[in-house]
Structure 1
Amino acid sequence: MEQHSRDFLQAAGAAIADSERARTREALGLLMPNQREQAIKDFGGNKEFDALRSEVKAIRQHALAHLGHYLESFSSAARENGSSVHFARNGDELNGIVLDICTRHEAQRIAKGKSMITEETGLNAALESAGFAVRETDLGEYIIQESGDTPSHIVAPALHKSPAEIRELFLERHDLGERDLADAPEMVAEARQVLREEFLAADVGIIGSNALIAENGYSMLVTNEGNGDLCANLPPVLIVCTSVDRVLPRAEDAMAMLRLLVRSTTGQAVSCYTSFYAGPRRPGDVDGPLETHFVLLDNHRSEILASDYAEMLQCIRCGACLNHCPVYMNAGGHAYGWVYPGPMGSVLTPLLTSLEESADLPDACTACGRCEEVCPASIPLPDLLRDLRRDKFTQGVTAKRWRFGIQIHAWLALHPRLYQRITSL
């Protein structure tokens, strides 16, 4: 996905001026926090939820502290299950591995589930440039693909699209004759009808992963639509694209994370579909892929793990920080200019790309602390954003006039009488 983080201020200004989409974000900012709060009450209250947060945080910290060991364990178990495991140092390597697999199988059509990692590497564009027909099958991602747009939220990629816009898009793109498409159920039914053929005709299925289980080589995927299962089980070849930091020691650790994830994301007690993929079809199985590949992306994550920002790798991609962030609610996801918006994106994007390319993002924060308060992984996002601001200053990324101004202010702060005289003028 092409990065436009340099344009954050201009894009945020344009988003604020778009009153219709601003109302949609305002509604989200009321609905999603209320759903999360109710889910926590139903779970047993904040005390029970915070105890689970502490448990999952400890699990994630342990897994990351022993990442090499658990990646080796996962790879060994997955290969024993009959899967192939590939490691990609960067986006180009991941795209090349997937292209090679698709080419070797003489694939033509690819059915794809939702995957932030493939957004990060620009996989769709690479596959299409090579002549493959790629179809996104998550409803939100399908809408985005059909409209030539990019996601605005990590969980609800088409959040910025109104029902009227989606209706017009479907009427234009689907050659199905005269029809009303009067409401959301009709539009969903039409998308299901169109996508059914994509699942049946696909030569390769590509999905993401919420967790890799080291003890058994399985992959866990959490969805509410079931398209992930269809991408995984109907095509003869399955490719799971995810990042190295998704590995967890045991299946029970993944289930603990799941209880946090769904309540933080949508306020559900459990997602509609939680699937574990164990590898290719075995003798006696009636369905499933004939071949399974795991492609695990690093892309600077090893560097982040060795840095002062290692806690950011504990993120479970729930989107809670976006749903509670006043800056995201006003600026919208597209303003952040890359794959990951909101507070988590304001930290991740500079770490995965560069501070120079995303210099405004660490400042896209009111320091209200809501993101840290609701983060199921208890990541100190405001602290990390302040640290990135410090890095901007020390690395000379901040404009000279601002660095000079900060230096003057710091000097004056050490001379309170002079500071008081100047500021009282």
Structure 2
Amino acid sequence: PAIHKNRRQVGRLFADKLGVEYTEDPQVLTKIARRTIRGKFLTADAGLSGANFAAAASGSRVLFTNEGNGRTVTTVPPLHIAILSLEKMIPSLADLPTFIRLLPRSATGQSITSYVSVITGTRKPGEATGAKELHIVLLDNGRAEILSGECREILKCIRCGACMNVCPVYRTVGGHSYGWTYPGPMGIVLTTLLTGMAKSHPLVDASTLCGACDEVCPVRIPLVDLVLKLRERRVREGFSRPMEKRGMRVFGKVAASPSLFSAGQFLSRTFWPLVRAFGGKDVAGRLPGPAKVPFHRRVP
């Protein structure tokens, strides 16, 4: 998907890489893409795909697409290689209807995607399309270890993207900022678990813990709780910054004492003009100032 690029960027990309005349017309760009890609599909020796779900009982792979590319890559080349991570497995095709309704409605608001492809086995005698040879690769890559740990619920994720749509951090910084395959709230958890805390520990701060992701998740993954568990693990494993540790220790003492907390509120209101004066435009423009009257004094 190239939703992050506009038609002018796509037009320049096609002109540079494909040697075609520059155009911004979406219909013309679509025809150029179709003509170029379809030729590659028809001459490819092998097609490589994943799957949204896979039925253990029949070995069927299920693909949800709106473009039709999934159906083409799995049926036109003579060899089909399907790579599936372990959590994509469901018991049988009898369990599929629930996900057919759940995934597109949570992802794009559709009742159903344009194409739902259920592929079982190889080409049968008399069939015009379908791979003649099939290889299915079941990918663990640390998922069995996740299943036995305290964050196992992240493996229920169906990759709908609903948590990304509502996440204030993701909507501000975009998907590329997460630095790996999975962005958004689910990406914070899954990326950290798959790549290790040593590599991904800064990522667990990419959440405001507002809980919007918990509310929209169709499979009820407690994403906020999982992020908090990872933050606790980061501290236990020694990846917290020394300044952060000292700051939280001081804040804990202040927050536990009503008198110190009130004094802190008074000082913040007193010195806020200095923060606005010397904190730079980002601080002055985006950071809200302290309330003139604390909340606990407004409520009888």
Q: Which residue of 1 aligns with 2:9?
A: 165
Which protein shows a greater Rg? Answer: 2
2:95 matched to 1:253?
yes
Q: State the shift of 1:262 in Å.
A: 0.4
- How far apart, CA to CA, are the structure 1 residues paired with 2:102 and 2:193? 25
- How far apart, CA to CA, are the structure 2 residues paired with 1:217 and 1:285? 19
For residue 191 of structure 1, the aligned residue among 14, 29, 33 is: 33
- How far apart, CA to CA, are the structure 2 residues paired with 1:335 and 1:233? 35
Deviation per CA, 1:114-171: give whole Å up to 9, x if none.
xxxxxxxxxxxxxxxxxxxxxxxxxx3xxxxxxxxxxxxxxxxx22212111111111
**Aligned residue identity for 2:88:** R
Q: State the shift of 1:269 in Å.
A: 0.7
Q: Which residue of 1 aligns with 2:241?
A: 399
For residue 84 of structure 2, the aligned residue among 242, 248, 253 is: 242
Structure 1 segment 8-407 matched on structure 2, within 5 A: 140=1, 158-176=2-20, 178=21, 181-407=23-249
Report SS of the residue matched to 1:356. helix
- How far apart, CA to CA, are the structure 2 residues paired with 1:389 and 1:287? 50
Q: State the shift of 1:196 in Å.
A: 1.2
**Aligned residue identity for 2:167:** C
- How far apart, CA to CA, are the structure 2 residues paired with 1:361 and 1:254? 33
Report SS of the residue matched to 1:359. helix
Deviation per CA, 1:196-244: give whole Å up to 9, x if none.
1101100000111011101211111111111111111111110001101
- How far apart, CA to CA, are the structure 2 residues paired with 1:340 and 1:349? 6
For structure 1, the residue ranges without an aligned partner over 5 or more in a row are 1-139, 141-157
Q: State the shift of 1:423 in Å.
A: 5.3
Report SS of the residue matched to 1:285. coil
The alignment yields a C-alpha RMSD, in angstroms, of 1.6
- How far apart, CA to CA, are the structure 2 residues paired with 1:291 and 1:300? 28
Which is further off, 240-249 or 359-368? 359-368
Deviation per CA, 1:302-360: give whole Å up to 9, x if none.
11111110110000001111111111111011111111111111111110102222222
- Percent identity between matched residues is 43
**Contact 2:105–2:111, Cα closer than 8 Å, also in 1:** yes
- How far apart, CA to CA, are the structure 1 residues paired with 2:24 and 2:260? 68
Structure 1 residues 408 and 216: alpha-carbon distance in aligned structure 2, compared to 1, 3 A threshold: same
- How far apart, CA to CA, are the structure 2 residues paired with 1:221 and 1:422? 56
**Contact 2:85–2:140, Cα closer than 8 Å, also in 1:** yes
Q: State the shift of 1:265 in Å.
A: 1.0
**Aligned residue identity for 2:131:** P
Q: Which residue of 2 aligns with 1:82?
A: none
**Contact 2:8–2:24, Cα closer than 8 Å, also in 1:** no
Q: State the shift of 1:174 in Å.
A: 1.6
Report SS of the residue matched to 1:280. coil
- How far apart, CA to CA, are the structure 1 residues paired with 2:60 and 2:249? 53
- How far apart, CA to CA, are the structure 2 residues paired with 1:226 and 1:423? 58
- How far apart, CA to CA, are the structure 1 residues paired with 2:67 and 2:256? 58
**Aligned residue identity for 1:159:** I
- How far apart, CA to CA, are the structure 2 residues paired with 1:165 and 1:418? 55
Q: What TM-score comes out, normalization by structure 2 length?
A: 0.84
Report SS of the residue matched to 2:127. coil
**Aligned residue identity for 1:174:** L
**Aligned residue identity for 2:236:** T
- How far apart, CA to CA, are the structure 2 residues paired with 1:384 and 1:220? 28
Q: Which residue of 1 aligns with 2:287?
A: none
